[in-house]
Structure formats: C-alpha cells, structure tokens
Amino acid sequence: MGLSVQNLWLIPLLPLVAAAIGALTPRTGRTLAAGAAILAMSFSFLLSCGALVTALANPATHATSNFAWFDLGMGALRLGWLLDPLTAFMCVMVTFVGTLIFIFSTGYMHEDANAKQFFCFLSLFASAMLGVIVANSLLLLFVSWELVGLASYLLIGFWFHKPEAAGAAKKAFITTRIGDLGLLLGMLWLYDSTGSLLFYDGGHGVLEAGALSALTAHTALGGFALSTIIGLLIFCGAVGKSGQFPLHVWLPDAMEGPTPVSALIHAATMVAAGVFLIARVYPLMSADQALAHVPFHALTVVAFIGAITALMGALIAVAQNDIKRILAFSTVSQLGYMMLAIGVGSWVAAIFHLLTHAFFKALLFLGAGSVIHAAHHEQDIRSLGGLRSHMKVTFATFAIGMMALAGVPFLFSGFWSKEGILHAAHEWDVSRVPLLFGLAAVVLTAFYMTRLVAETFFGKARSHASEHAHESPASMTLPLVVLAVCAIALGFLGTPAFPWLQAKLLGETEVLGHSLLAGSGLMMLSVVLVALGLGTGWAIYGRVTREKSTSPDPLAARFPGVIAFLGARMKFDELYAATVFKLNAATATFADVLDRFVWDGAVRFLARLGEFAGVVNREADEDGLNAGFDAGSESLRGTGKAYSRAQTGDAHGYLRIIAIGFVVLVLIMMLGGNR
C-alpha cells in the first residue's frame, strides 16, 4: 500500500504531535510521553514504508506537492514535499532506527526524573529530521535543518546542570550556525538568481535543467560559474552539520548528551543530514562539471574536504580513551568517507554508506550505552575490561557492529558500502589523494576498533564498576539484536553483483550487476588493509591485555609525542581559541569601548560644551547687559548662581546644551557623511 506525495507530510507530523503531547504532559507523565513518541515513530515507519512502495514503483520520477506559505509580491513564497527513492529510503531508515532507539531509551533513561522531556525533545528531533528529508524546497529544508539543530542543542545539554553539557550544547549550536550562515547565503543567492527555492517544480525548480543551465552560464566571482559558488556556500552548511573539517570540533563534545542521543542524532541521522543535503542538490553541485575553463569544480572541494576528514577523524580516534569519543571521531571519519564519495561523483555510494553506517553506528553507540549503563557511567576504556563474560548479548552485537565498521569482508554491510566509495575514488581522474587517504583510513579504522573492543571486553575488569556489570534489560538488548541483524543484512542490498539500492536511487528500473571480479584488485587490497589493521590492533592491545587502568598505553609509550598530539585532537580547539575566539572577543571589546568612550564621550563632550556656552551666555547677560543696572556685588552673586545653575541637572539647561550639540552633529553630518 503506497503513500502518495500529497500525504507525505504525515510522516514528520506524527512525531511533532508526540512532541507536543510530551511538552504538555506534567513531569510525572513519562509513560505517556514515551508511549506517544514510540507509537508516533512506529506509525511514521509504516507510512515511510508506504512511501517507499510508491517511490519504487516509479523510481525515476520526483513526485512533488507544492503549496503557498504566504503571499509575497505578485506571487507567494512556496514550499513543498518531494517523494523520490532518496526521500523514501532515508525516511525508512530514520523512522526504523529512531523507533529502536526510542525503545532503547525507555530502558536507558529509566531512572532520569526528566525522562518525559527527553522523549519530547527526541520526537521534536525526529519530526525536524523527517522534515529535512521530505522537503521539496531549500527554504523548508533550512527551516527543518535549524530545528534539527535546536533539538540537538537541547539534547546535548539535556543534563544541563553539568556545565560541560551546557557548554557543549552551545558550542554545537554556534559551530553549526557558522556553517549555516554559508548555507543561508547560498540559499539567498540561489533565490535571487532563479526566483525560486523549490527543488522540483515541473521544469521551474532549481534542480531542473532550465535553472541549472542559467546558473552555469553565469560567471560570478573569480571566474567561477554561479552554480559553483552557490554549491560551495550550501556545502558550508553540510560541513558544519556533518562534522567535516574544519568545523568538526563540536561533534566529539556533543557526546556529553545521553547515549541514545549520540546514537540517533550524532551518529545515525542528523550528522548525516549534511551528506543528504549534498546528495539532494547533487544536480546543482555537479552542474559545473561540463565547464572546462573554471579554476576548479565544486565537487573537487567536497572530495578533498571529505578525504581530509576521513583520515583526520581516524587518526584522532586512535588516541582517544573515552568509548564515546572514539566512536564520535569514527563518525567524523565515516562522514568524511561519504562526502568523499559525493565529491568523486558517486552520491549513490555515499547514500548507501550513509544507510549502512546509520545501522551499525547506532548499534555501536547503543552498545556503548549498554556498557555505560551497566558500568555506572564509566566511559574510559582503560577502566573497563572483561565485559565479554558479563554482557554476552552486548558483546556479540557490539562485535558485529565493530566488524561492519572496520569493513570485515563479505559478511558485513560496512564492507560493501565502503568498497563502493573506494571504487568511486579509484575511478576519479582528478587526483589520487582521496583514494590514498581513504585507504589509509581503512587500516586505522580496523585498528582503533580492535583496540576499543579489546580494551573494553577482553582482559580483566579494571574497576569496581566493570567487575560488577551485568547485562542490560531486554528493552535495551532487543534493539541491539535487531540492529545487528541489519548491520549484516543491509549490505546485500547493494553488492556489486546486485546493486539494487544504487539502481533504485539512480532511478533505473533494471538492476545491472557487475562481475565480482571486475575491479577485484582494489577489493583485494582493501581486504589486506583491513586484515592489517585488525592484526596490528590485536597484536598491540589484544594479545597482552592491560593490567591496570593506570598502565601506560603501549602505543603512547612508543610514540609519546604523536599520541599526545592526536589525544589532544590535533589541538584544533586550542587553535580556534587562539584565533577565532580572540578575534571575536576583541570585536566585542571594540564595540563596547566605541560606545562607552567614543560615542557616549562625544555626547558628554557636546553636553559640556553646551554647558560652557550656557555659562558664557549667562555671564554675558549678567556682566554685559545687567552690569549697568546692578551693583558690582549683585553681579558677583549672579555669576555664582549661574555656575551653580549649570550643574543642577535642570532640564531646560540641558536642553539648550544638547541643542547646541546637535548643531555640531548636523554640521558633521553635512560636511562629512552626507555628500
């Protein structure tokens, strides 16, 4: 049973209703809030499946339903919904993973007094995220995009009484807003040059041939096509949201939020929204590909930023000790892979990896949540250890997630989606750098995940908390099992032999498989690299496990400088503190000083000037005109009065003073400013 595009708005509406219910119930109504959230999400999932059925029936069409938001000039500002396979697959993923994480949260947040608010915010997030996906207008997408950011802000700072959580929430909001300003400018430019913000509008949309050829024909700054500049401005938004270099600094801090939040927002869905956005506007991003005379193409920038992010994230993850920070940097790195894929021209490979990653990374975060829950909020892997025997389900599912992320061949989804990206990078003829960075990150990914699993689950318990850990309740383990199944099964939707998902995304009706042997050289290489990463990781951390939580890290003992630098996240925060923050603070001081001393000073000066003029005036009156009538003593007394009068704060006196001041201001205006 299909869901038509006219009814697509129901998908984001249901969670919004749940959020409203959550907001209006009293604090004791946690069961109601959680129940409404889970129910709304499950129904949205069913509706999304219906939308998928509709979309797959005609995968090549972009079905739209547009409407006027408000009157503007001769026309109106129009928004709309869009249904195509990209929308449908994303909806299904978000609602499915979302439902599982909501269920997990009922267990995880069981003891939190504020749980009802948690479900309210989660539902708000889900609604906004689904809004991003179903939007057929860059403006509606932007609106939802900002609301997603708000939900992320509220959920990172959910434990707002902790200063770190409150600070991390603000950092996330501000950092992503920097990128969003680029997105805003790109949107304004696009609107101004095409007169529309609808993606598809029966030939008049911004992603359709007419607008695109106009945008590429127009040359703007620096010899670039207009489409390149607008595309790169939109990409700024994606860089902020998807934690790409150089705006990735907020994502690791976002781990201050409750772990289900990290799983849903900062691993599976919101951070992937940037990738989704670039995939959505891919026709615009790639419009300049045919132009030969431009300095470089928009997608080239995307590929390099993605490649740098993929390698940088993996490097930093090697030296982190907090289980969630390792996973956070791993997310940064994987998002880099996705951007890299779009940059080298294969947005379908990016979306395939986005979908598989959503499942196995949500699995890993929920697994980490299960560990943290069991170990009484101990997150340092050096203080865990030996959990394999206490938490069998968590361990087994976590291991599946770890192998999917590491790209263990053939059985796990991550392998297939990552292969797709590496092959696309291999075929890119602009530069080898993205491929090399991608391959290097393959080794590192396998390595740091092996370290994570070995330190957490193997060896012996190194703290009281991990010694007495016990398996989490079924509400938490059940989602883990379902996600683990998906982390394996999903890969088979897009193997080279049967690339069903890719074909549907591209709107092809027939699925054309390749021989597995085609391009098998690269596949062999990456298999070897995965094995290398797993092997080294096990050799260093698994063969001989850590004795005490305070024992030195074997890698840090060998390369202290490098590991310290990576452990400090390559000092990006320090760099920004020394530059951007300083500049910001200096500007604020400048503005304040300008006001307090220059402008207010000028007003005071004019007032004093006027006061002086008043005194002179009075003196002239008393001494000059009246002197003939009054005796000398009387005159003296009058002068004294005048002096004191100038200082009583009498309104009339001031009025005259200010009036004279204004004369001077007018003169300044006329002589200087108003030519």
- The nearest distance, CB 223 to another protein, in angstroms, is 18
* Binding flag, residue 673, another protein (CB under 8 A): yes
- The nearest distance, CB 153 to another protein, in angstroms, is 8
Binding mask 635-654 for another protein (x = CB under 8 A): --------------x-x--x
Q: Which amino acid is at 9?
A: W
What is d(CA 52, CA 48) in angstroms, rounded to the nearest whole number? Answer: 6
Between 53 and 603, whose beta carbon lies closer to another protein? Answer: 603
Binding mask 162-201 for another protein (x = CB under 8 A): xx-xxx-xx--xx--xx--x--xx--xx-xx--x------
Which residues are within 8 A (CB) of 435 and not within 5 positions of it... i.e. 6 or more apart? 422, 425, 426, 428
Q: Which of 427, 595, 621, 634 binds another protein (CB under 8 A)?
A: 595
Per-residue three-class SS string for 86-138: HHHHHHHHHHHHHHHHHHHHHHHCCCCCCHHHHHHHHHHHHHHHHHHHHECEH
- The nearest distance, CB 380 to another protein, in angstroms, is 23
Q: Which span sits near another protein by CB under 8 A: 84-92, 135-143, 451-459, 482-490?
A: 135-143
* Binding flag, residue 111, another protein (CB under 8 A): no
Q: Which of 67, 559, 612, 662 binds another protein (CB under 8 A)?
A: 662
Between 540 and 665, whose beta carbon lies closer to another protein? Answer: 665
Total residues in contact with another protein, by rule CB under 8 A: 64
- The nearest distance, CB 386 to another protein, in angstroms, is 35
Q: Site residues for another protein, window 566-585 (CB under 8 A)? A: 584
- The nearest distance, CB 556 to another protein, in angstroms, is 33
* Binding flag, residue 139, another protein (CB under 8 A): yes
Between 60 and 72, whose beta carbon lies closer to another protein? Answer: 72
What are the angstrom distances between the C-alpha of 319 and each of 252, 330, 332, 562, 652?
A: 13, 12, 15, 9, 72
Between 474 and 655, whose beta carbon lies closer to another protein? Answer: 655
Instruction: Please answer whether residues 43 and 13 qualify as being in contact, where contact means their C-beta atoms are separated by less than 8 angstroms.
Output: no
Q: How many CB atoms lie within 10 A of CB 652?
A: 9
- The nearest distance, CB 232 to another protein, in angstroms, is 14
DSSP 322: B
What is d(CA 473, CA 124) in angstroms, rounded to the nearest whole number? Answer: 26
Q: Site residues for another protein, window 334-393 (CB under 8 A)? A: none
Q: Which residues pair with 219 in a beta bridge?
A: 225
What is d(CA 258, CA 272) in angstroms, rounded to the nearest whole number? Answer: 19
* Binding flag, residue 9, another protein (CB under 8 A): no
What is d(CA 138, CA 476) in angstroms, rounded to the nearest whole number? Answer: 37
Binding mask 114-133 for another protein (x = CB under 8 A): ---x----------------
* Binding flag, residue 204, another protein (CB under 8 A): no
Between 184 and 411, whose beta carbon lies closer to another protein? Answer: 184
Tokens representing 345 are 């021209």
Q: Which residues pair with 70 in a beta bridge?
A: 77
Q: Which of 515, 644, 648, 674 binds another protein (CB under 8 A)?
A: 674
What is d(CA 80, CA 59) in angstroms, rounded to the nearest whole number? Answer: 19
- The nearest distance, CB 354 to another protein, in angstroms, is 24
* Binding flag, residue 616, another protein (CB under 8 A): no
Q: Which span sits near another protein by CB under 8 A: 142-150, 412-420, 562-570, 626-634?
A: 142-150
Between 169 and 315, whose beta carbon lies closer to another protein? Answer: 169
What is d(CA 220, CA 229) in angstroms, rounded to the nearest whole number? Answer: 8
Q: Which of 213, 520, 587, 647 binds another protein (CB under 8 A)?
A: 587
Binding mask 41-80 for another protein (x = CB under 8 A): ----------------------------xxxxxx------
Which residues are within 8 A (CB) of 591 and not within 5 positions of it... i.e. 6 or more apart? none
- The nearest distance, CB 332 to another protein, in angstroms, is 23
Q: Which of 56, 150, 396, 478 binds another protein (CB under 8 A)?
A: 150
Q: Which of 589, 617, 626, 647 binds another protein (CB under 8 A)?
A: 589
Q: Which of 15, 107, 157, 283 binds another protein (CB under 8 A)?
A: 157
Q: Which span sits near another protein by CB under 8 A: 33-41, 158-166, 306-314, 439-447?
A: 158-166
- The nearest distance, CB 143 to another protein, in angstroms, is 4
Q: Which of 592, 612, 621, 634 binds another protein (CB under 8 A)?
A: 592
3-state secondary structure of 320: coil
Q: Which amino acid is at 218?
A: H
CA-wise closest residue to 657 among 619, 615, 606: 606
614-622 contacts: CB < 8 A, separation 24 or more?
A: 614/646, 614/653, 614/656, 614/657, 615/642, 615/643, 615/646, 618/642, 618/645, 618/646
Instruction: Please answer whether residues 397 and 480 qualify as being in contact, where contact means their C-beta atoms are separated by less than 8 angstroms.
Output: yes
CA-wise closest residue to 44 among 82, 83, 7, 78: 7
Between 134 and 393, whose beta carbon lies closer to another protein? Answer: 134
* Binding flag, residue 666, another protein (CB under 8 A): yes
Please state at what angle helix 413-427 crosses helix 474-489, rounded to 10 degrees.
40
Between 227 and 526, whose beta carbon lies closer to another protein? Answer: 227
Q: Which of 90, 147, 251, 284 binds another protein (CB under 8 A)?
A: 147
Instruction: Please answer whether residues 253 and 362 qualify as being in contact, where contact means their C-beta atoms are separated by less than 8 angstroms.
Output: no
Q: Which residues pair with 225 in a beta bridge?
A: 219
**Cα-to-chain-centroid distance, residue 524:** 34
CA-wise closest residue to 38 among 110, 108, 122: 122
Please state at what angle helix 298-318 crosses helix 433-457, rounded to 10 degrees.
30
Q: Which residues bind another protein (CB under 8 A)?
A: 27, 69-74, 117, 139, 142-144, 146-147, 150, 157, 160-163, 165-167, 169-170, 173-174, 177-178, 181, 184-185, 188-189, 191-192, 195, 584, 587-592, 594-595, 599-600, 603, 649, 651, 654-655, 658-659, 661-662, 665-666, 669-670, 673-675
